[in-house]
Amino acid sequence: MILQVQHVTKRFGGLTAVNDVTFDLPKGQILGLIGPNGAGKTTLFNCINGVYSPTEGKIIFNGKDITGSPTYKAAALGLSRTHQIVRPLNELSVEQNVVVGACYGREKLGLRKATAVADEIMEFVGIRERADQLASSLNVAQKKRLEMARALAARPYLLLLDEVLAGLNTAEVSSMLDTIRNIRERGVTIIMIEHIMHAVMSLSDRIIVLNYGELIAAGTPDEVSQNPEVIEAYLGDPGLAAQLLEEERA
Amino acid sequence: MKRLRFPGLWITLILVIGVGIIPAINGSASLRESMFTILMSVALASSLNIILGYTGYVSFGHIVFFGVGGYLGFYVISQHGWNILPAMLVGGLSAAILAFLLGATVLRLRGAYFALATIGINEAMRALVINIPILGGPVGMEMHFSEYKKYGGPMQALWMVYWSVLIVTVLTIVVSYYVKKSKFGLGLMAIREDEDAAEVMGVVAPRAKTWAYVLSAIFPGIIGVLFFFKNGNIEPGDAFRLQFSIELIVMVMLGGAGTVLGPVIGSGIYQQLRKVLLTSPIFKNIQLAVAGFLLLLIILFIPSGAVGWLRSKSVKLRRVLE
Amino acid sequence: MGEVLITSALDGLLIGVIYGLAAMGLTLIFGVMDVINLAHGPLIAVGMFGVYLLFTFLGINPFVALLIMAVIGLLLGFFIYFVAVNRVIDAPPLSSLLSTFSVNMMIIGVGTALLTTSSYNVEYSLGSFEFGFFRVPGARLMAALAALVVTGLLYLFMYRTRPGKYIRAVADNRASAELMGIPSTRILALAFGIGVMLAVVAGGLIATILPINILAGGSFELKSFVIVVLGGLGNPLGALFGGLILGLIEGLVPVVMKTTWVPVIEYALFVLILLVRPQGLMGAKK
């Protein structure tokens, strides 16, 4: 198991954003994390990589308890992530952004080696020709790729992708899907939060579903998409939901 | 022709050294004095730039390191007859230790809170020194004439101090350059752009910030010793002058925060301008107001400073100016 | 000993009210637009000399002069906002710090040229009052009362009038206030104007009780920083509370220690509070 999430709860004042969530993630899989808006998906990510310290429960990464340790510790151990709302280092060049990932990630490379890694990763995610531009000058799709490049440059064992497809057009989505498949080919385990159903259904080996902070279903994409509780959580009307899911798949 | 390997560094160093040796060539004492002020400002502004320009932490109390270093250095020279070299060491080291201790605490604060805390620290330090009798309390300390005789008389001592300040300034610029070009500096700039995102990428921000702060404190500590040794006396108001601290920020901004050359150019322009205004019959009385007006124009219209502006103008300039 | 303590405490509280008023403008501006107004001290000095000049050369009663200066302060605030602040309001904090500091330099520069840095006095006395063993100069009592009145008026304005509510809405969340149709630039200018007006009025009150010089605003600016942090950045009522605490410290500490320790304690407390409770003793802006 690369990641074990055990009874994780996160409360903000009276609000329980994540409630007693437990799951295991074997190496090499793509795990889809879905749920309606406000279900606590990003909060769960934040608990896993240390942005928040969970109120209760444990996060075990590669056999190490990393509950509540700072984000840079998680990064050093090989846990990288992207942000739902992109956070480029605006006044640095695209290349420098990626070099930061390589320098301070799992391998802690020196500048020269990090630059070589960054070149390769920029090529891989398709932003190589933008290397000398300032990160602030990229468009949304490019910024999403930059997020991914930074995370990959750290050579992580586990990659958390937070809605990397949101805001992209159809062509960009399908090219991003190829990129994600290629990342998995490289042996990186992935958890992805995604709203575009057909994408997450086709990519994921397993899917877990959050609703109001609780884990309401887990299983293969087929199992989950036929689970009435999931359908109801998504749309409130099981009939309509089932119909829409059929359309998505067609 | 082989391309120069570090054009950004060489341009800056040649500029500083070239201008720095002029007083030696014509032997003018008054020129030496005004050059001393400029070089001192260059070193102070460049060191401030490490925490302000690279790391993005606005320190309003940077002068506290100048004051603390100056006081302790002055104390060991004037009260214990130490040589200036070990005294400079004391100054740099004490400033570094103070920065290290502060770094662990105040660098947790961000934005305006950090800026306010640095003001508080400077003022607390000034008020504290007033209450320490062995440091001379509110009146400060005087340097006995005999201390200058050790260097062959006051004239020789003044030249010696001048060369020392030139060396320290050059050293500051070299450090500033290498920090900017290093992995450490890249981490600092990542913190400046987005501290949380930098940490997610693995930058150990608390540690990096503390070292940046320590590094930026050493040079003011050393310069403080040189300045007050030359000055002949030290008092709390001169050592912890908040106004000077803010002027340093202005110099960094004028030239361009986060660039190596910027603080050098900025200090030069600022001190020259001040001198011109102070000696002009028209502006003498309102030199501060004129300087303020120019500052406002720069902030409103060229916020990236002179060097930042030049760098944004062409790729070629970006390659040679750092 | 008891009498000394009570007298010192009351003295401290009286001056503390004025400190609080001086800090209120600073904290209001910070609360609404996250700008630390580094021209605060010189603006206090503007108030001091406005009252001084109106009184000395035109013979206007200082408290009437105060009203005139309040209007001038408001207009001056609008002017400064549009010239120096509006353009950098969304820039990194350093920009607004420096632009307001440039205003500081301009005021001090012109002020020094016209008035030099020597000391002036508003020759105005209201006799003194006695309450048992406690004797208080009338001017000091009046100044403290006036400061309380101004604080009360500020509160009425902020909570009972439409522009006041707009200011609070913009302070709370500028983007959503704009969505609600609140003209944010005008409201920001108004808030800045009121902040400056408060500084000017505080300066005017100080001039009635203490000797003044063009740089004297600076020490009140530093005190204001301490007060603002004590009371919570952006919380005007907290500023009054912070002012009272500072006044008490200044009143009571000299009873047991040398006066020179007062600033050490003040600034150490300031840094300490920033570290352990940055939202201030009274909580920062909501």
C-alpha closest to that of A221 among A240, A244, A249: A249
- Give chain B positions within 8 Å (CB) of A76: 202
- How many Cβ atoms are within 10 Å of C121's Cβ, its own excluded? 11
Q: CB distance C258–B113 less than 8 Å?
A: no
| pLDDT at position C286 | 42
Residue of B nearest to A154 (CA): B201
Same domain, residue pair A74 and A89 = no
What fold does the segment set C2-276 form as a domain?
ABC transporter involved in vitamin B12 uptake, BtuC (1.10.3470)
β-bridge partners, C137: C128
Q: CB distance C94–B287 less than 8 Å?
A: no
CA distance A31 to A200: 9
Q: CB distance B189–A91 less than 8 Å?
A: yes
- pLDDT category, A236, cuts 50, 70, 90? low
> Which residues form the domain of A107?
85-156
Same domain, residue pair A138 and A201 = no
| pLDDT at position B73 | 97
Residue pair C39/C104 in contact (Cβ under 8 Å)? The answer is yes
Helix pair C138-160, C184-209: axis angle to 10 deg: 170
Identify how many contiguous H helices and E strands chain A contains and give both numbers. Answer: 10, 10
pLDDT in tens, B306-321: 888 888 877 777 777 8
From the list A89, A96, A110, the residue facing B194 with the nearest CB is: A89
- pLDDT category, C285, cuts 50, 70, 90? low
pLDDT at C199 exceeding the cut of 50: yes
- pLDDT category, A241, cuts 50, 70, 90? low
Q: How far is CA A64 from CA A20, A47, A60, in A?
A: 20, 15, 5
C-alpha closest to that of C28 among C143, C167, C123, C147: C167
A13-17, A106-110, A143-147, B217-221, range with greatest mean pLDDT: B217-221
pLDDT in tens, chain B (322 residues): 445 677 888 888 988 998 888 888 888 888 999 999 999 999 999 999 999 999 999 998 999 999 999 999 999 999 999 999 999 999 999 999 999 999 888 999 888 889 889 999 999 999 999 999 999 999 999 999 899 999 998 899 999 999 999 999 999 999 999 999 999 999 999 999 999 999 999 999 999 999 999 999 999 999 999 999 999 999 999 999 988 998 899 899 889 989 999 999 999 999 988 888 888 888 878 888 888 898 899 889 888 888 888 888 777 777 778 8
Q: CB distance A80–B201 less than 8 Å?
A: yes
Same domain, residue pair A69 and A169 = yes
Give the total number of structural domains in chain A.
2
Task: Report the SS3 class of residue A66.
Answer: coil
Residue pair B54/B192 in contact (Cβ under 8 Å)? The answer is yes
Residue pair B261/B321 in contact (Cβ under 8 Å)? The answer is yes
Interface test with C, best of B295, B297, B301, B304 (most C CBs within 10 A): B295
Domain boundaries, chain C: 2-276
pLDDT in tens, A24-72: 999 999 999 998 888 899 999 999 999 999 999 999 999 999 999 999 9
| pLDDT at position B157 | 93
C-alpha closest to that of A160 among A239, A75, A79: A79
From the list A81, A89, A108, the residue facing B193 with the nearest CB is: A89
pLDDT in tens, C166-175: 999 998 888 8
Q: Does domain B7-320 have CATH number 1.10.8?
A: no
| Closest CA–CA distance from residue C258 to any residue of chain B (Å) | 9
Q: What percent of chain C stands above pLDDT 90?
A: 53
Q: What is the distance between the terminal CA atoms of chain B, rounded to a whole angstrom?
A: 22
pLDDT in tens, C213-269: 999 998 899 899 999 988 888 888 889 999 999 999 999 998 888 889 999 999 998
pLDDT in tens, B27-43: 888 899 999 999 999 99
Residue pair A149/A135 in contact (Cβ under 8 Å)? The answer is no
- pLDDT category, C189, cuts 50, 70, 90? very high
Q: CB distance A100–B205 less than 8 Å?
A: no
| pLDDT at position B295 | 85
Q: CB distance B123–C267 less than 8 Å?
A: yes
Final residue belonging to a domain, choices A116, A138, A156: A156
Same domain, residue pair A90 and A149 = yes
Q: Which amino acid is at A76?
A: A
Q: CB distance B194–A154 less than 8 Å?
A: no
Q: Is A14 within a domain?
A: yes
CA distance C19 to C151: 12
pLDDT at A246 exceeding the cut of 70: no
Which residue has 């002029």 as its token pair?
B22
Same domain, residue pair A97 and A144 = yes
Residue pair B211/A60 in contact (Cβ under 8 Å)? The answer is no
pLDDT in tens, C1-35: 678 888 888 888 999 999 999 999 999 999 899 89
- Give chain A positions within 8 Å (CB) of B196: 51, 71, 87
Same domain, residue pair A71 and A163 = yes
C-alpha closest to that of B87 among B223, B239, B215, B213: B223
From the list B186, B194, B197, the residue facing A99 with the nearest CB is: B186
Q: Is A20 within a domain?
A: yes
Interface test with B, best of A52, A92, A95, A103 (most B CBs within 10 A): A103
β-bridge partners, A34: A209
Q: Is A238 within a domain?
A: no
Chain B partners (3+ C-beta pairs within 8 A): A, C
CA distance C96 to C91: 7
Residue of C nearest to B284 (CA): C113
Q: Number of A:B CB contacts under 8 A?
A: 77
Q: CB distance B117–C104 less than 8 Å?
A: no
C-alpha closest to that of C34 among C152, C191, C217, C176: C191
Looking at the complex, does the CB of residue B196 fall below 8 Å from at least one CB of chain A?
yes
pLDDT at C284 exceeding the cut of 70: no
Q: CB distance B202–A154 less than 8 Å?
A: yes
HEC profile of chain B = CCCCCCHHHHHHHHHHHHHHCHHHHHCCHHHHHHHHHHHHHHHHHHHHHHHHHHCCCCCCCCHHHHHHHHHHHHHHHHHHCCCHHHHHHHHHHHHHHHHHHHHHHHCCCCHHHHHHHHHHHHHHHHHHHHCCHHHCHHHCEECCCHHHHCCCCHHHHHHHHHHHHHHHHHHHHHHHHHHHHCHHHHHHHHHHHCHHHHHHCCCCHHHHHHHHHHHHHHHHHHHHHHHHHHHCEECHHHHCCHHHHHHHHHHHHHHCCCCCHHHHHHHHHHHHHHHHHHHCCCCCCCHHHHHHHHHHHHHHHCCCHHHHHHHHHCHHHHHHCC
Q: CB distance A71–B186 less than 8 Å?
A: no
- pLDDT category, A235, cuts 50, 70, 90? low
From the list C110, C261, C274, the residue facing B131 with the nearest CB is: C261
| pLDDT at position A63 | 92
Q: Is A247 within a domain?
A: no
Poorest-pLDDT segment among A224-233, C79-88, C186-195: A224-233
Higher pLDDT, C64 or B280: C64
Q: What is the distance between the terminal CA atoms of chain A, rounded to a whole angstrom?
A: 34
| Closest CA–CA distance from residue B270 to any residue of chain C (Å) | 14
| pLDDT at position A145 | 92
pLDDT in tens, A191-206: 999 888 888 888 999 9
CA distance A23 to A215: 9
- How many Cβ atoms are within 10 Å of C149's Cβ, its own excluded? 11
Same domain, residue pair A99 and A205 = no
Chain C partners (3+ C-beta pairs within 8 A): B
Q: Is C117 exposed, middle or buried (0-12, 13-18, 19+ CB in 10 A)?
A: exposed
Residue pair C39/C282 in contact (Cβ under 8 Å)? The answer is no
- pLDDT category, A239, cuts 50, 70, 90? low
Q: Is A231 within a domain?
A: no
Interface test with A, best of B181, B201, B316 (most A CBs within 10 A): B201
| Closest CA–CA distance from residue C261 to any residue of chain B (Å) | 7
Angle at CA of residue C62, ends C57 and C66, nearest 5°: 110
pLDDT at C281 exceeding the cut of 90: no
Final residue belonging to a domain, choices A123, A156, A189: A156
| pLDDT at position B1 | 43
Q: CB distance A89–B183 less than 8 Å?
A: no
Q: CB distance C267–B127 less than 8 Å?
A: yes
| pLDDT at position A238 | 59
C-alpha closest to that of A141 among A110, A104, A174: A174
Q: CB distance B200–A96 less than 8 Å?
A: no
Which residue has 């805390």 as its token pair?
B117
How many Cα atoms are found within 13 Å in the side-chain-facing hemisphere of A162? 20
Q: Is A235 within a domain?
A: no
Residue of B nearest to A115 (CA): B183
Same domain, residue pair A119 and A150 = yes
- Report CA dihedral (B62, B63, B64, B66) to the nearest 10 degrees: 120
B228-249: buried (b, 16+ CB within 10 Å) or exposed (e) per residue? bbbebebbbebbbbbebbbbbb
Residue pair C285/C265 in contact (Cβ under 8 Å)? The answer is no
